[in-house]
């Protein structure tokens, strides 16, 4: 753990003290529940000292760095700037959500799905899933969003990761722009998206974009979503069926243990939807 907290890259791009305290709290609880491990005294002293001097108010807004490690040896790292508030600048896209962790973890566990493939991410947010695909061997990844603040932080995050920067492009994509969706479809093998089913008003636009982009039986879309509103989720599945050209399968990941990342909210129920052309 000390190699994570005190790693030179973590120090250079440090998360907020509030995030470090929250992270270490989960870490301490996990280690204490495992008889075969003992807590490091230096780490405990650091945790206690930081806890005593850190404002844990959720209203402590602002951007901080987060480092995601994709392997146990910690050679593969993704550094992202993220907001600390759930909603900032009128959008929820400036932090990584639970469904994004699951989708990223899925590609770490199954890299053959995206290896040497051209990937497009819809509603990228901070970019974790797309960046993970690039790190796990995708040929090219196009991270897309429509919010100006999100696109700005996406571009900044791309530059923070020199090992994969040349594989990633950032682009503005409005799902209503069928011409642009059709143009992008020509160079896409895999479509990904996470936590983009939260608003029923945009679900028809998402389905329209998927119908326009996924035009070949060789193309597959992987969408993860937190199962918060059954009506919105049912709407998405119904509209997929009504296209008459898209097929779907749904996997319940609720009991799945993340192997790469720590869960932010264990109460969230996560679904993975695979979408193909019939």
Residue 262 has pLDDT above 70, yes or no: no
- Identify which of 162, 163, 171 has the alpha carbon closest to the alpha carbon of residue 142: 171
Residue 212 has pLDDT above 90, yes or no: yes
Q: CA–CA distance from 277 to each of 69, 138, 187, 224 (Å)?
A: 34, 21, 16, 18
Q: CA–CA distance from 89 to each of 33, 59, 63, 143 (Å)?
A: 39, 14, 12, 20
pLDDT band of residue 142 (cuts 50, 70, 90) is very high
**Interatomic CA distance for residues 21 and 50, integer angstroms:** 7
- Identify which of 129, 65, 72, 73 has the alpha carbon closest to the alpha carbon of residue 102: 129
Contact 207, 176 (CB under 8 A): no
**Residue with more model confidence, 182 or 269:** 182
Q: Give pLDDT, residue 112.
A: 97
């Amino acid at each position: 753990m000390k190699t994570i907290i005190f790693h030179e890259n973590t120090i250079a791009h440090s998360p907020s003290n509030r995030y470090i305290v929250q992270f270490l709290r989960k870490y301490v609880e996990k280690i204490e529940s495992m008889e075969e491990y003992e807590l490091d005294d230096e780490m405990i002293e650091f945790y206690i000292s930081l806890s005593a001097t850190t404002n844990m108010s959720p209203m402590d807004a602002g951007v901080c760095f987060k480092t995601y490690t994709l392997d146990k040896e910690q050679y593969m790292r993704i550094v992202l700037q993220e907001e600390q508030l759930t909603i900032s600048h009128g959008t929820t896209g400036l932090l990584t959500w639970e469904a994004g962790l699951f989708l990223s973890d899925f590609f770490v566990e199954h890299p053959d799905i995206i290896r040497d493939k051209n990937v497009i991410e819809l509603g990228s947010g901070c970019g974790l899933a797309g960046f993970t695909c690039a790190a796990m061997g995708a040929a090219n990844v196009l991270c897309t969003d429509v919010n100006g603040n999100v696109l700005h932080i996406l571009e900044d995050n791309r530059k923070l990761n020199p090992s994969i920067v040349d594989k990633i492009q950032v682009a503005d994509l409005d799902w209503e722009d069928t011409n642009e969706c059709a143009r992008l479809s020509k160079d896409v093998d895999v479509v990904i998206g996470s936590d983009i089913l939260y608003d029923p008003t945009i679900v028809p636009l998402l389905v329209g974009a998927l119908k326009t982009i996924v035009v070949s039986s060789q193309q597959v879309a992987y969408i993860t979503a937190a199962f918060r509103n059954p009506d919105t989720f049912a709407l998405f599945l119904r509209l997929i069926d009504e296209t008459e050209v898209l097929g779907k399968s749904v996997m319940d990941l609720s009991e799945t243990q993340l192997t790469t990342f720590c869960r932010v909210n264990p109460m969230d129920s996560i679904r993975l939807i695979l979408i193909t052309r019939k």
